Amino acid sequence: MQPLVMLKMARSLSRLLTGCQRFASPPSVYAHLCHSSTCLPFRSSFVRTMGALPFSFPLKPRDFSLPNSAWSPEMTRLYDFYNNQCEVENESGEKQKGPWRRLPSYNRTLKYATGGAYLSKFIQSKNRLFTRSIKTAGAAFEYVMFLNKEEQRCVCIFQAGHLLEGPPGHVHGGAIATMIDSVTGALAAFMSGAVMTANLTINYRSPIPLGSTVLLESSVDNMEGRKTFISCKVTSTDGSKLHTEATALFLAIKVSHLLGM
Amino acid sequence: MQPLVMLKMARSLSRLLTGCQRFASPPSVYAHLCHSSTCLPFRSSFVRTMGALPFSFPLKPRDFSLPNSAWSPEMTRLYDFYNNQCEVENESGEKQKGPWRRLPSYNRTLKYATGGAYLSKFIQSKNRLFTRSIKTAGAAFEYVMFLNKEEQRCVCIFQAGHLLEGPPGHVHGGAIATMIDSVTGALAAFMSGAVMTANLTINYRSPIPLGSTVLLESSVDNMEGRKTFISCKVTSTDGSKLHTEATALFLAIKVSHLLGM
């Protein structure tokens, strides 16, 4: 790799990371940094630079939060419901931002995206975000999150695949905990920047059948200094059945601490 | 498939399920039934019957709790430490059961193993236990559990693979919650038979680097009627660093309820 290209990549990646941190990076000690759904997508300068590289690297990372053929009609319906509220028309017929915002979701961390010494690790790293590590559509975690800034809420539409089994025919408690951590972490990160999960308290009320689509709704309970308190409910999509209730506590952190800088 | 073979399979599977239930099946609403690590391995009568079938089905399911090439030296050392205490010599030099027992671990549920109407579903089911759904050695959850009946304790040696990432370079909080649910659920199931997770309360103290091996130690705090209270600590293998602390509540259930019978 030519030094100039390396330098351009390092700069681009460095800018990218800075952007992510500024935006309010993500979930947690137990959430994610720049592969998190709260992260900005790749910038064009980065894409251009990567395009000149003499090795294979996806120019445009896959956004796992977009619909695919494995999504159930119910999941697609709910996606459309929230997605249609991401951009709305005002009285003059002009399009403007709506109350909701869809969070893109990638499977690679950008933890090494500080350029220079970490660059090769970034390219070579096999690490994948836990919830996106199985690529087969519909097999594991299918989900998309939407944020409502004004209401300080995050909703997640989650379809549980057949690789998430715990009790016979039902979703593993750990898989539910994983989604709760992810959703509450995304909201906490949106509110407070980079955060780490400090506590999860989960009450399982009713098992979730494999293959079903459920709704996770989280909201901010309180904020005190570095602490963000979030609550979350997992229900059937019509809200009639409560599957799980949870509270979560997140602590704001310096990202550099996690990156070992 | 010939009716006689079907019948023999149904009977064998039925006996198998009965055995699992009697033994104290597994973790949870949020743990597992017969693919759980607390379950008896396949009986020989079942294996013989399956061998006569005109389609491919593994005669001997893979026990994921046995060492493989991806295990770190530390994981292997700890495995040997506990495994050597599963069978000990008495004063006369005779071998006898030791204080610890290794729990085998499979990736398929036997939920449909009630014979008859459910049999084809059992064979065809794509469902896999969440913690064993990725087969690539070392990529995700590598773990083995040991039970100490007298001390009412369960230890788990856990090596976190690169597909479990949450914060950059560290294990996802949901993956840690998953292991905590699995280990406490195995102990609760050993104590109380089939159980469901009712509550998990998890305090994250220090992030776990990807690739590292940690120890989960769980013990019974209390038992009241249908309730089993378990606590769990996740530490470095030498015990010097506390990563996570948790308590869990499990409720005894009738397996038939989960199977929809």
Does pLDDT of B124 surpass 80?
no
Q: Which residues of B touch A135 (CB under 8 A)?
A: none
**Least confident range of B57-61, B178-182, B248-252:** B57-61
Pairing of strands B213-224, B227-236: antiparallel
Contact A131 B174 (CB under 8 A): yes
Predicted confidence band at A168 (pLDDT cuts at 50, 70, 90)?
confident
Higher pLDDT: B253 or B1? It is B253
* Residue from the list B30, B167, B180 with its beta carbon closest to the beta carbon of A172: B30
pLDDT at B256: 72
Q: Answer yes or no: do A28 and B173 touch at CB < 8 A.
A: yes
Instruction: Tell me which residue of B103, B243, B247 sits closest to B172, measured CA to CA.
Output: B243
pLDDT of residue B261: 60
Taking 70 as the threshold, does the pLDDT of residue B23 lie above it? no
User: How far is the alpha carbon of B54 from chain A, nearest alpha carbon, in Å?
Assistant: 25
Summarize pLDDT for A232-253 with one digit per residue, the tens.
999 999 999 999 999 999 999 9
Q: Is B30 close to A168, i.e. CB distance below 8 A?
A: no
Q: Cα distance from B135 to chain A (closest Cα, Å)?
A: 11
Q: Which residue among A126, A162, A201 sits closest to B126, beta carbon to beta carbon?
A: A162
Q: How far is A43 from chain B (nearest CA, A)?
A: 20
- Share the mean pLDDT of chain B: 79
Q: Is A203 on the interface with B (CB under 8 A)?
A: yes
> How high is the pLDDT of residue A124?
58
What pLDDT is stored for residue B125 in this prediction?
Answer: 80
DSSP letters along chain B, please?
--HHHHHHHHHHHHHHHHHHHHHH--B-BTB-STTSTTSPPPPHHHHHHHHTSSS---SS---TTS--TT--HHHHHHHHHHHTTTEEE-TTS-EEE-SEEEEP--S---TTTT-GGGHHHHHH----BGGGS--STTTSEEEEEEEETTTTEEEEEEEE-GGGBSSTTBB-HHHHHHHHHHHHHHHHHHHHSSEEEEEEEEEE-SPPBTT-EEEEEEEEEEEETTEEEEEEEEEETTS-SEEEEEEEEEEE--HHHHTT-
Poorest-confidence range of A121-130, B25-34, B73-82, B149-158?
B25-34
Delineate the domains of chain A, giving CATH numbers in brackets: 1-56 (no CATH), 58-259 (3.10.129.10)
State the average pLDDT over residues A85-91: 93
pLDDT (tens digit per residue) in B45-58: 333 333 344 445 55
> What ipTM was reported for this prediction?
0.80
Contact between B167 and A30 using a beta-carbon 8 Å cutoff: yes
What pLDDT is attached to residue A261? 60
B178:A175 CB<8 A: yes
pLDDT confidence bin for B257, thresholds 50/70/90: confident
What pLDDT does A211 receive? 96
- Tell me the chain B residues in contact with residue A38 when contact means C-beta distances shorter than 8 Å: none
CA distance B175 to B164: 6
What average pLDDT does the segment A175-191 reach?
A: 97
Which amino acid is located at A215 in the chain? L
- Decide if A198 touches B, using CB distance below 8 A: yes
B65 neighbors B106 (Cβ within 8 angstroms): no
CA distances from B194 to A243, B28, B251 (A): 20, 7, 8
Model confidence at B41: pLDDT above 70:
no
The number of residues making up chain B comes to: 261
Q: Contact B18/B127 with Cβ under 8 angstroms?
A: no
Would the pLDDT of A120 be above 90?
no
The 3-class secondary structure across chain A, one letter per residue, is CCHHHHHHHHHHHHHHHHHHHHHHCCECECECCCCCCCCCCCCHHHHHHHHCCCCCCCCCCCCCCCCCCCCCHHHHHHHHHHHCCCEEECCCCCEEECCEEEECCCCCCCCCCCCHHHHHHHHHCCCCEHHHCCCCCCCCEEEEEEEECCCCEEEEEEEECHHHECCCCEECHHHHHHHHHHHHHHHHHHHHCCEEEEEEEEEECCCCECCCEEEEEEEEEEEECCEEEEEEEEEECCCCCEEEEEEEEEEECCHHHHHCC
A184 chain-B contacts, CB cut-off 8 A: none
Query: Active-site residue among A63, A181, A221, A238?
Result: A181
- Cβ neighbourhood burial of A236 (10 Å; 0-12, 13-18, 19+): middle
Quick one: pLDDT at residue A21? 32
Sort out which chain A residues have CB atoms less than 8 A from B108's CB and list them. Answer: none
Q: Enter the pTM of the model.
A: 0.80
Question: Å from A126 to nearest chain B CA?
Answer: 6
Residues in B 49-88 with any Cβ partner in A closer than 8 A: none
Residue A259's pLDDT band, with cuts at 50, 70 and 90, is: low
Q: Is the pLDDT of residue B44 over 70?
A: no
Judged by a CB distance cut-off of 8 A, whether residue B211 touches chain A is no
Segment B84-96, tens digit of pLDDT:
999 999 999 999 9
Please report which confidence band the pLDDT of residue A74 belongs to, taking 50, 70 and 90 as the band edges.
Answer: very high
Which of B259, B197, B205, B249 minimizes the C-alpha distance to B227?
Answer: B249
Active site residue A238: no
Beta carbon pairs, A and B, within 8 Å = 228
B124, B171, B178, B216: best to mutate for the A interface, most A CBs within 10 A: B178
Contact A30, A181 (CB under 8 A): yes
pLDDT one-digit tens code per residue, B193-236: 999 999 999 999 999 999 999 999 999 999 999 999 999 999 99
Does residue B260 carry a pLDDT above 60? yes
